[in-house]
């Protein structure tokens, strides 16, 4: 990211960072920056929705005017032009587990945004998927993650890699992607709309892979908050 065009706000929880970012949106719109030229990227769907609601109250413009007020996963999903049916859910995870012979609950902890769901089961397959997923979003080796976080030492890295490899092949055969694939594929081939302003909320919570997405989106913009 080009730090020369970036304004960063620091502060502990509850000090109004998100409120300040919404004020930045107001400021840019008062300068006649078009809503479609502004992207507000939030960590949760709730935060993205709240930002739009606040702006709508002030400027009285329709929701459709803000196509890029989204979570990072939703932004990637939109720009990849994939279909919702292609996104893996609990049912598909269980199908993979059954075909491969590793027990998976397929259970999801659905948070504020459907694209932020995380595997929360505790069966063997669930734990393998969690470790592999953590490796993918952080870019760290499976062995390092298992050692540093003391995760499932009874599972071997060879077994985890075998399941992960089978999972990748299974997704390709069935034409499916998971939430991490959305980010990886966006970095590789996703299109970036013409934007002037990009605002990143809760930036401290982003993974290394999410930062790669942000870096691609902000490569040619005028100003980043």
> What would the pLDDT profile of 21-71 be if each residue is shown by its tens digit?
999 999 999 999 999 999 999 888 888 888 888 888 888 888 899 999 999
pLDDT > 90? residue 154? no
Of the pLDDT bands very low, low, confident and very high (cuts 50, 70, 90), residue 123 is confident
Encode 88-123: b = buried (16+ Cβ within 10 Å), e = exposed.
bebebbbbbbeebebebbbbeeeebbbbbbebebee
Average pLDDT over the chain, rounded to an integer: 87
141 neighbors 135 (Cβ within 8 angstroms) = yes
Q: How far is CA 70 from CA 22, 50, 138, 166, 207, in A?
A: 14, 11, 22, 32, 17
Q: For residue 153, what pLDDT is reported?
A: 59
- Output the six-digit token pair for 142: 């499976």
Q: How far is CA 4 from CA 8, 223, 225, in A?
A: 11, 9, 11
Of the pLDDT bands very low, low, confident and very high (cuts 50, 70, 90), residue 110 is very low
pLDDT > 50? residue 112? no
> What would the pLDDT profile of 159-169 be if each residue is shown by its tens digit?
999 999 999 99
| Segment 214-225 mean pLDDT | 96
Of the pLDDT bands very low, low, confident and very high (cuts 50, 70, 90), residue 156 is confident
Q: For residue 48, what pLDDT is reported?
A: 84
Place of tokens 């990227």: 41
- Collapse the DSSP code of 61 into the 3-class scheme (helix H, G, I; strand E, B; otherwise coil) and give the result: coil
């Amino acid at each position: 990211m080009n730090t020369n065009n970036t304004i960063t706000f620091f502060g502990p929880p509850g000090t109004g960072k998100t409120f300040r970012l919404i004020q930045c949106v107001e400021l840019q719109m008062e300068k006649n920056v078009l809503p479609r030229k502004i992207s507000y990227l939030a960590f949760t769907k709730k935060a993205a929705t709240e930002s739009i609601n606040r702006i709508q109250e002030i400027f009285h413009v329709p929701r459709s005017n803000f196509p890029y007020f989204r979570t990072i996963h939703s932004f990637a999903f939109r720009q990849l032009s994939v279909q919702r049916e292609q996104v893996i859910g609990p049912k598909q995870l269980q199908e993979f587990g059954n075909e491969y012979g590793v027990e998976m609950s397929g259970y999801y902890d659905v948070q504020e945004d459907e694209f932020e769901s995380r595997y929360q089961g505790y069966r063997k397959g669930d734990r393998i998927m969690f470790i592999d997923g953590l490796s993918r979003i952080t870019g760290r080796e499976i062995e390092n993650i298992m050692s540093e976080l003391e995760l499932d030492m009874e599972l071997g890295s060879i077994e985890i890699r075998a399941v992960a490899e089978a999972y990748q092949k299974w997704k390709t055969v069935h034409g499916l992607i998971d939430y991490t694939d959305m980010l990886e594929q966006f970095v590789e081939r996703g299109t970036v709309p013409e934007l002037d302003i990009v605002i990143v909320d809760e930036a401290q919570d982003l993974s290394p892979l999410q930062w790669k997405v942000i870096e691609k989106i902000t490569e040619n913009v005028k100003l980043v908050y």
